[in-house]
Chain A
């Protein structure tokens, strides 16, 4: 499928038989097939080193696949960037303010200053950090740094948001809050989200679809559709349905860990 074909089919991302083999001969991924519908929230779940981050980096264009085809739908003729990426670390520039960190993608795209100002303010408001625009990253807590990172990914108004274990390093309460905020953003902004995590609970809580991966090489071993009335709120975490999904997904994930003694 070409890029326009992908777009016509209502897909945001389409991978067919994609593999990634590193220079040292290790097959990190694949063959890997994945279709993500526009506006969908999909989680890639698997043990560390199962290639889920590799898949994300391929979709982002940060690395090239060794074989297979990869198509990412792009809206034509618009400023900014089609993809926003949130790393596991906040990955902020420590030498400048929150505002300048969020402005970076626009600055690199040489967007007009006035327009950039408005979009930076909007993105900061979306993540609830409008008052901290002039703070420096070191003055913020871990959760707030992650919000800055999220605002920076949103500032270009991307179609697709790629998130690589973004909340893994946060404490649980902060993580739950950011989970809820992310769901609210996803509902309001209609982004396609591909979310990499190794937490069963997080993947089930957030996603419409959970894709369980095996390691070495990374392949899809199971897929679950999480059907629950929208909008999801904190109550969903307490529900029997949620616990049921978590049990099923955990069971599917177990074989992926069996080969990894001590991992």
Chain B
């Protein structure tokens, strides 16, 4: 039974996609809609192929920015959580500001950042701002979720702070950290795109979001769709890769990574 269910789980979204694309193409053709108003999926695909040199280069730029933002967010989030875990005073002093940074819409911060920072730096900072918080809050939660008896055991055997951190707290927090990273991956892409849009055509960058803004001014709608498609695919791949890493790391022991049949 479950194998049929699995087939349906994979098949149904594909069917929905195919039907959606077919309807889209049909509507465009029947109503003879011009491609500068709404291009059909075929036109978008053709543009993707014909503009590939430009688009692939932009994709590379956006992915690199996203990666830099993500690495900064992961390192910053985990490091801050570790600091907070070691010192309550530090946590009380700084945590509210982490929350403020998180709840202030990044699209409103981006123009300011672009004034004071070089565009490349500003984009990475934007990606960092949106992505670090889930890593910070999840890691904090994980570090505080250590089994009490295990903590007592480490105390009994005279473990140092560093040993407790390395052999107990970090492994216990790992599933939480990986969960945070999975959210941060998608968010750092969003942060990078937001900053590129804010920089607009005035910026010197050439990321995918910049291409979308630029194509909008030139009424090159098919290219806007093509760039959007690439952004979407990039987000899916980032999520997939992080989910896979998480699964591989946790599969031997954590409930979340164990098969349902167990």
Contacts and interface: CB of A to CB of B under 8 A. Distances in A.
A262 to B, nearest CB: 27
Contact of A62 (B150, B152, B172, B174): B152
Contacts of A136: 252-253
B153 A60 contact: no
A260 B172 CA distance: 38
A85 B163 CA distance: 19
Interface in A132-149: 136-138
A81 B157 contact: yes
A91 B157 CA distance: 14
Interface in A81-95: 81, 83, 85, 87, 89, 91, 93-95
Interface stretch (A69-77, A101-109, A245-253): A101-109
A96 interface: yes
A61 interface: yes
A85 B156 contact: yes
A85 B151 CA distance: 13
Nearest to A80: B157
B147 interface: yes
A108 B158 CA distance: 7
B167 A104 contact: yes
Contact of B171 (A57, A83, A95): A95
Interface residues on B, range: 20 to 34
A95 B171 CA distance: 7
A138 B259 CA distance: 13
Given A87-B149, A108-B163, A93 B156 contact: no
Interface residues on A, range: 20 to 34
Given A94-B253, A136-B253, A107 B167 contact: yes
B17 interface: no
A105 B157 CA distance: 6
Contacts of A81: 156-158
A215 B243 CA distance: 51
B156 A91 contact: no
B171 A93 contact: yes
A249 to B, nearest CB: 29
A85 B157 CA distance: 10
B254 to A, nearest CB: 7
B153 A95 contact: no
A91 B174 CA distance: 18
A156 B171 CA distance: 23
Interface of A: 57, 60-62, 81, 83, 85, 87, 89, 91, 93-96, 104-105, 107-109, 136-138, 156
13 contacts: A81-B158, A83-B156, A89-B149, A93-B150, A93-B167, A93-B171, A95-B172, A95-B252, A95-B253, A104-B157, A108-B158, A138-B258, A156-B157
